[in-house]
Amino acid sequence: MKNFSVEAKLGFFIIAAVTALFYLTFMIGGKKLFGYGAAGRTMVIYFDSIVGVSEKSDVRMAGVKVGEVAKIALEDYKAKVYVNLYGDYKIPEDSVATIQGKGLLGEKFIELRAGNSRKYLENGGKITRSIPPANIDDLVAKLSDSLDDIKKVTRSLGDSFGTEDGKEGLKSIIKNLSQFSEVVGGNKERLNAIIDNVEKATKVMQLMLAENRENLKGTMENFKAMSKSISEQAPELLANLDRAAAGIRAVVDENRANLREGTANIKEAAGNLNGVLTDNRENFKTAMDNLRKSSEKLDAVLASVRQITDKLEKGEGTVGKLIQDDEIYAGLNETLEGTKSLAKQAGVLKVSVGARDEFLGSSDHYTQGSRSYFSIGIRPREDKYYMLELSNDIRKPLVGGSRSTLSSLLYTFYIAKRYGNVTLRGGLMESSGGAAFDLHGWNDKLKLTVEAFNLGGYDQFSTQPQLKVTGTFYPQKYIYLYVGGDELLNQYYRTFFAGAGLMVDEDDFKFFMARFF
């Protein structure tokens, strides 16, 4: 170096500085120098929009750079991005590509979110699952709309509370809130008790789900097997339904006159009942007065009974002494238990309550796509029951406008009797006379129902009787799913439906009250 001139030394220094600067520039920019780490594989990613990304943009996975954008093209109105991958990075086939940014206004790059697939993209593979970048202009526009809404709200609040009346109203609200907080503070123990009960109920529900997890899993497997069986037998079932519908239509055609006469008799009976109620209004009023007087007398009788019970508790009188004697008390208790057992053997009246909702396949002539039902059942015996049901009429009115809540209600009340695997029903169905039968199978888990009502037709577009066929499946005792068709004889209102329902009895209520309260 001593033989080099000052100019040569300065030249070597400048060359070394430029080389170091060139190398550092590529290192800081994340670029490869002299082909080091060049892409060994390629893949293609499709985006609906690629705003902010250009060629040479980074491709990262979990924040680590795994490649860069080589080329961007347009294919079928979508952005087709060619990517060069570095090294031997494995990309799962179900990975998702998104566009991220380094800060709010920073450089955009493509982020790969690894999927769960055990299969990996080969050289030239494609990723079709992508998430487009958020549009800043759209976000600014939405933010501007939100600010305008906030201005309107603040202006409305200023108009409401800026006046003297508004200030007085605000003071009244604050005073009411203060009183409410005092009431809540005074009932803190009750609120804590309610919260404890809710927590206990949640724990009981979790325990019940854990205990019955296998049963639920078995039920779903049974339902899957049954649905597969139904799908295989669907053509034959539909053919049988067509034949049954044709037979019912023939029966209805043959008995149309009798059905119309029966409907007329029902209307006449309803009119007579209304007349009887009108004629005996005064008698009903007198009966209510007598009932009120009887209740007053009953209060006096109860007061006397209270005095007698006080004496019995003190052991006064012959009956009081008998009750206070332990041997006599034990005998009476045993007799009462025997009487209670006899009453249970004689049978009790069971009451059940249920609700269901069905969704229509076609709603062109209906005001909405679903219909709700509320049911109350009374079962005096295992083979006989009564059913009261309320539903809503969702047919579109022939004249413009809409029905009121009361005018849209449909009433159902019928009696049912079971003979083996067949149940016959008859009575009032959706505010008209009708009849039906049920076929039970598979240990009562399946039921086929055929109902006929509105025998004179619903309106001028529905002149035939309303025929409704339903198939029902009970995965559990009180839960059921069903599908079927309605208005099968009238093309104008014909539709198919699917729904689910719940029917519980008093034993379930007792269980719930015992577990949670």
Question: Of 52, 64, 55, 216, which Cα lies nearest the Cα of 132?
Answer: 52
Higher pLDDT, 269 or 430: 430
pLDDT tens-place string over residues 329-388: 566 566 656 655 544 544 567 888 889 998 887 667 777 778 889 899 998 888 999 999
- Statement: residue 428 has pLDDT above 90: yes
Mean pLDDT for the chain overall: 79
pLDDT tens-place string over residues 160-174: 666 777 777 777 888
pLDDT value, residue 317:
58
pLDDT value, residue 36:
40
Higher pLDDT, 331 or 296: 296
Higher pLDDT, 283 or 414: 414
pLDDT value, residue 346:
45
Among 36-45, 349-358, 485-494, the least confident range: 36-45
pLDDT value, residue 387:
93
pLDDT tens-place string over residues 251-295: 778 877 777 777 777 777 667 766 766 776 776 677 667 667 766
pLDDT value, residue 143:
79
pLDDT value, residue 402:
55
- Statement: residue 483 has pLDDT above 90: yes
Higher pLDDT, 238 or 112: 112
pLDDT value, residue 7:
75
- Statement: residue 472 has pLDDT above 90: yes
Question: Does the reported pTM lie above 0.75?
Answer: no
User: Residues 297-317: what's their mean pLDDT?
Assistant: 67
- Statement: residue 311 has pLDDT above 80: no
Percent of the chain beyond pLDDT 90? 18
Report the run of H or E that residue 243 belongs to, with start and end: helix 213-254
Higher pLDDT, 191 or 417: 417
pLDDT category at 47 given cuts 50, 70, 90 is very high
Among 160-169, 308-317, 318-327, the least confident range: 318-327
pLDDT category at 307 given cuts 50, 70, 90 is confident
Percent of the chain beyond pLDDT 70? 78
Higher pLDDT, 132 or 374: 374
Start-end of H helices in 115-212: 136-161, 164-186, 188-211
pLDDT category at 38 given cuts 50, 70, 90 is very low
In the chain, where are the structural domains located? 1-28, 41-134, 137-186, 187-254, 270-346, 349-514
pLDDT category at 419 given cuts 50, 70, 90 is very high
**In b/e form, how buried is each residue of 363-394, taking b as 16+ CB within 10 angstroms?**
eeebeeeebebebebebeeeeebebebebbbb
- Statement: residue 222 has pLDDT above 90: no
Which H, E and C letters describe 7-20, residue by residue?
HHHHHHHHHHHHHH
- Statement: residue 426 has pLDDT above 90: yes
Residue 53 class from Cβ within 10 Å (0-12 exposed, 13-18 middle, 19+ buried)? buried
Question: Of 438, 455, 434, 458, which Cα lies nearest the Cα of 447?
Answer: 438
pLDDT tens-place string over residues 5-16: 777 778 878 888
pLDDT value, residue 211:
78
Among 78-82, 91-95, 241-245, 511-515, the least confident range: 511-515
Which H, E and C letters describe 421-484, residue by residue?
CEEEEEEECCCCEEEEEEEEECCCCEEEEEEEECCCCCECCECCCEEEEEEEECCCCCEEEEEE
pLDDT value, residue 421:
92
Domain 349-514 class, CATH top level: mainly beta
Task: Judge contact between 312 and 323, C-beta under 8 A.
Answer: yes
